[in-house]
Chain A
Amino acid sequence: MNDAPPLPTLLVIPTGIGCAVGGYAGDGLPAGRLLAAASGCLITHPNVMNGASLYWSDRRIHYVEGWALDRFAAGELALAPVAGRRVGLLLDAGIEPELRTRQIQAAEACRATLGLSIGPVVTTDSPLGVGLSLGPSGSSWGTLERPDALLRAGEKLVAAGATAIAAVARFPEDPGSEALAAYRAGSGVDALAGAEAVISHLLVRQFGIPCAHAPALAPLPLDPALDPRAAAEELGHTFLPCVLVGLSRAPDLVPLVPVGMAAGARLEAASLGAVIAPAGALGGEAVLACAARRIPVIAVTGNACLLQVNGAALGLEVINAANYAEAAGVVLALREGLDPASLRRPLGPLL
């Protein structure tokens, strides 16, 4: 048992850039759990925590959607833990009836089995029209034909008392595509991720409450050579349970109070002790905002991705860690007040 005070730590594994760890179906979760144990307080985002039907609930882990995470790191939002919340279910009108029923049954299962508070259910007034694309860097991006329909449905949920929104949109699919085969074999980029992020970013930005997204997709044929990191998505008919669990205790997003007012139990960027990200993906807003605050940046060199935006390229001072186990050691050192440099050799002179 660690008796040092928790060291609030931010874990970022960007979605849609082919991360070897966290670029698949909740395969960043073991790293998240370890870092939660090392830090005593981990703030991270759905891409790390969501494993379709698989999830892990831990009071030390704060589930914060990416847009809110960026605003938190920028010092514009604080996080206030809650006992629980009512998760409204937003369904895309483009989902076929059978697939829609599967989503609703997954939500019913989470009510009956986990005791989550879920509802109401609102369907968009027109199909959202999710479009997928890859950006010039190869990162996955996506867009919506009808963002207005998404927000109208969200408005109904909020008006009906939902304090979080789980959105399910119909995503285009092609079971025979080379990209899908590569992903299931453990290489390539998660092409759905970019559009998923756009949906949740729009909702959180508009309503200021926790939101996350699960895609609606038809089941795939059995693949005996499936990569373990992609296996979580083959377990059921929906990817919804992890989202409902994550949102059920996601913290409130609170506009930061003026200086001098009591912060209470809120978490603020000013209290962060470390931020952890893949070494080649340091160019996101949250990491840059933390670096600007001189929060130690732990760059995980062993989590390869498409990008080469590293500390040297950006002029950021970073602490390199070969993998997440080493990163957890660095976090423990910081939590204990140790200079991580003192644990490495050679130990350079002060002058």
Chain B
Amino acid sequence: MRPSSASTRSEAVVLSQRFAGQEEGIDAAGPEPPAGDPPGLVLLPFCFWLPHAAGPTATHDPEDPTASATPRSDPPLPPDPAGLRCAIAAHLASLGWPGAEPLRWAITAVDPLRGLQLEGLGLHHAEQERR
């Protein structure tokens, strides 16, 4: 499918700053529903680094999803997708969206120091009261 108006790289830099919890970033609480919108569903763009120590293969600790930034020296172990989903949910909860779940996500970069970059969109329901 073809690109459109909001898709040039320079615009992307601006738009990417809407991603909740990105390293440099910004908008730590994620997007607000549009004015007048009944508080039904909220879509939450996110991007964050999940350090290796907490990450892909370790048993997930929802209380501490970003436990350490220790560089990894040993070969990586394959990521556990269920653990990554939990880490994303914990990240969204830490931004004030408890109960939000990942709707669409992927590992979009791997860095020996920072870990796994998880990028995607979360989904929050109104009945899951925002902190």
Listed in ascending order, the chain A residues whose CB lies under 8 Å from chain B are: 14, 25, 66-67, 74, 129, 131-141, 143-148, 151, 171-174, 177-180, 182-184, 188-194, 196-198, 201-202, 205, 215, 217, 220, 230, 233, 239, 281, 283-285, 288-289, 291-292, 307-309, 313-316
B110 within 8 A of A: yes
Interface residues on B, range: 35 or more
Cross-chain contact A180 with B2 (CB below 8 angstroms): yes
Given contacts A137-B109, A314-B78, A315-B76, 12 further A-B contacts (CB under 8 A): A25-B2, A133-B16, A138-B9, A139-B108, A145-B37, A151-B40, A177-B8, A178-B8, A183-B2, A198-B43, A283-B110, A315-B79
Q: Report B-chain residues with C-beta under 8 Å of the C-beta of A314.
A: 56, 76, 78-79, 107, 110
Partner of A191, one of B4, B41, B85, B105: B4
Most buried by A among B12, B15, B38, B110: B12
**Contact across chains for B45 and A143 when beta carbons are under 8 A apart:** yes
Residue pair B119, A135 in contact (C-beta under 8 Å): yes
Quick one: closest B residue to A131, CB to CB? B6
* Residues of chain B with a CB closer than 8 A to A220's CB: 2
**Whole-angstrom CA separation of A140 from B11 in the bound complex:** 12
B interface secondary structure, majority: mixed
State the B residues within 8 Å of A (CB).
1-9, 11-12, 15-16, 18-19, 22, 31, 34, 37-38, 40-41, 43, 45, 47, 56, 75-82, 84-85, 103-110, 116-117, 119-121, 123
Q: Which residues of B contact A191 (CB under 8 A)?
A: 2-4, 6-7
Given contacts A133-B16, A147-B43, A148-B38, contact A180 B3 (CB under 8 A): yes
Given contacts A67-B104, A283-B108, contact A136 B4 (CB under 8 A): no
Count how many pairs of residues, one from A and one from B, have CB atoms less than 8 Å apart in the complex.
189
A174 CB to closest chain B CB, in angstroms?
A: 3
Residues B1 and A193 in contact, CB atoms below 8 Å apart: yes
Contacts of A288 in B (CB 8 A): 78-81, 84, 107
Most buried by A among B78, B106, B108: B106
Nearest 3 interchain pairs by C-beta: A283-B107, A191-B7, A174-B5
- Say yes or no: A285 contacts B106, CB within 8 Å: yes
A135 nearest in chain B by CB position:
B119
CB <8 Å contact, A198 and B3: no
